[in-house]
Structure 1
Amino acid sequence: MGLERPGPNDDHAGSSDHSGQSGLRLDAAALKVLAHPLRSRLLSALRRGGPATATDLAADLETNSGATSYHLRKLESVGLVADTGKGEGKRRLWAAATDTHQWVASDFSGDEDSETALNWLVRDYLRHLAERFGRWLDVEAAWPSAWRDAVGMNDDFVVVTAAQLQQLTDEIGEVVARYRRAGEGDPEARRIAVYSVTFPIDLDEDPEDRA
């Protein structure tokens, strides 16, 4: 499973995918560092808004600059943020070190601390989605009808094997990657968040029967 924090297209050292984005596959250390309320917000803010100082980030996130500096260094220690070297004096200018991060759940099987961190991180993403989509609903009426018609939520279901579901997920990712910068340079283009979620419907069935 792979999930991305919203990046430069909206608000998401590793390998680069075919879209030119840099990504980091989280290991146990990076996962445990990121699974923290302020750190996840700091990374999101840097991907969304670009490089910033700890003071600026603290003001945006309504925390103090000392705590912000500490947590930025923790993120730096696992390759998620970096000091750009362009700050003035002691005011370090921080940037997201990668565009995206992903994980594979089986990497953490049997590691109770990592599985707890992963559970928190996924639920944090769910809260993040609800919060940001809720803000859109608050202002939707003021947007042009073309945008109101184009954005939104939908749901469907498929009957697939685990391998087929992985293929479906990969294909959706390829489509999103093709449109990553499609509107760049066009004054009518806007940054749009794209979330994708899959989960089993029949939760009352024995999961071992689906192995």
Structure 2
Amino acid sequence: MTSPDQHEERILDASALKALSHPLRLEIYDILSQYGAQTASSLAEHVGESSGVTSYHLRELAKHNLIREVAGQGTARERWWERPRGAVSMGSPEARVTPAGKLASAIVVEEFYRRRHEQLIAFLRETENVVNEDEMTALLTTSTAALTDEQFFEMSDAVAKVISEYVEKYRDQTGEGVRRFAIRADIFPLPRFDQSELT
């Protein structure tokens, strides 16, 4: 799993993946990734836990350099935490060498995409009564194309470049009318079918 970004990609090792495989830690990490810096208290309110619990998990994430304290912000009682910018890959070849690393990697990747899918379903439920498509601030499209591997890589590079340009340009934008959007690009080969099954 990667996110397009101008910064160098970090490949998580087995130790970091194991730390991230705790469901609440992954949820906290995901919130910091999507919404920016938070405190233990603001996270506690969002995830329905005490600030003591979220504070503990924040420290565990920080031990593995998955998150960091925001320099110059907050107090000794109210610390702010953020996820460092840059792409992150959770499909670490090094981690998959051992059964424990392979399991941690699988848990993290599956949970991450489960959370993203739930966000999409929640959005669809919230907007199911919208009649005018012009009111929908979303682009949900599905297409099928017959591509060679070379054409696939050309297209995926172009899509990643466009996303990266907009993320870099507007990442920290604030003000009236500004909302956070999840950006997904689901491009993958379909399972092969025997031609006789298609006729």
Bucket of the pairwise TM-score, normalised by the shorter protein: 0.7 to 0.9
Q: 1:53–1:91: 8 Å Cα contact kept in structure 2?
A: yes
Change (3 A) 1:67 1:119: same
In structure 1, what residue type is equivalent to 2:32? L
Moved more, 81-90 or 34-43: 81-90
Q: 1:80–1:98: 8 Å Cα contact kept in structure 2?
A: no
Tell me if 1:24 matches 2:13. no
Displaced runs of 4 or more, over 4 A: 163-168, 181-190
Q: Which whole-Å deviations, capped at 9, do the CAs of 1:134-189 have from their partners, x for residues lacking one?
A: 1211222459633538511314244444x765554333211211222556578566
SS in 2 for 1:74: helix
User: 1:95 pairs with 77, 82, 93, which one?
Assistant: 82
Change (3 A) 1:181 1:195: same
Change (3 A) 1:72 1:79: same
Tell me if 1:148 matches 2:136. yes
Q: 1:23–1:102: 8 Å Cα contact kept in structure 2?
A: yes
Measure how far apart 1:89 and its partner are: 2.8
Change (3 A) 1:185 1:55: closer
TM-score, with structure 2 as normaliser: 0.76
Structure 2 residue runs of 5 or longer lacking an equivalent are 195-199
Measure how far apart 1:118 and its partner are: 1.5
Tell me if 1:34 matches 2:30. no
Corresponding residue number in structure 2 for 1:7: none
Q: Which whole-Å deviations, capped at 9, do the CAs of 1:90-113 have from their partners, x for residues lacking one?
A: 322212223542244433342211
TM-score, with structure 1 as normaliser: 0.72
In structure 1, what residue type is equivalent to 2:126? V
Structure 1 residue runs of 5 or longer lacking an equivalent are 5-11, 206-211
What does 1:1-211 align with in structure 2 at a 5 Å threshold? Answer: 2-4=1-3, 17-18=5-6, 21=7, 23-85=9-71, 86-140=73-127, 141-142=129-130, 145-148=133-136, 151-161=139-149, 165-166=152-153, 168-181=155-168, 184=173, 190-202=179-191
Change (3 A) 1:114 1:138: same
Corresponding residue number in structure 2 for 1:9: none
**Number of residue pairs matched by the alignment:** 190
Q: 1:24–1:98: 8 Å Cα contact kept in structure 2?
A: no
In structure 1, what residue type is equivalent to 2:2? L
